[in-house]
Amino acid sequence: MTYSIKKGMGDAKPMAFEDYINRFINDRGFSRGKSDQISISQGDYKDLKTKAEKYEALVEEHKKVKTQNDQLLKQLDDMKDDGRKFKELMEEKEKYLNSLLRIRADFENYKKRSERENNRFKSYVMDTMLKKLIDHYDDLVRALNLLKMLEDVDGIKKGFEIIVKNFDKILTEEGVRPMNSEGEKFDPYKHEAVIVEEGYEDLPENTILEEITKGYYLKDKILRPARVKISKKSKLKNLNEN
* Most confident option among 24-33, 187-196, 197-206: 187-196
Q: What is the pTM of this model?
A: 0.52
Question: Can you tell me the distance from the alpha carbon of 225 to that of 188, in angstroms, rounded to the nearest whole number?
Answer: 9
Query: Which tens digits make up the pLDDT trace of 31-73?
Result: 444 445 556 677 777 777 787 777 788 888 888 888 877 787 7
Which H or E run contains 17?
helix 14-28
For 64-172, where are the E strands, in sequence order? none
Query: Which tens digits make up the pLDDT trace of 195-220?
Result: 998 887 888 889 999 999 999 999 88
pLDDT band at 127 (very low <50, low <70, confident <90, very high): confident
Q: Looking at residue 215, what is its pLDDT?
A: 92
> Are 224 and 192 spatial neighbours (Cβ–Cβ below 8 Å)?
no
Average pLDDT along the chain: 78
Question: Can you tell me the distance from the alpha carbon of 1 to that of 144, in angstroms, rounded to the nearest whole number?
Answer: 152
Q: Burial code of 200-236, b = ≥16 C-beta within 10 A, e = fewer?
A: beeeeebbbbebeebbbebeeeebbbbbbbbbbbeee
Question: Can you tell me the distance from the alpha carbon of 190 to that of 215, in angstroms, rounded to the nearest whole number?
Answer: 8
Q: Which CATH architecture has domain 179-242?
A: Roll (2.30)
Hey, where are the domains in the chain?
A: 179-242
Sign (positive/negative) of CA torsion 27, 30, 36, 41? negative
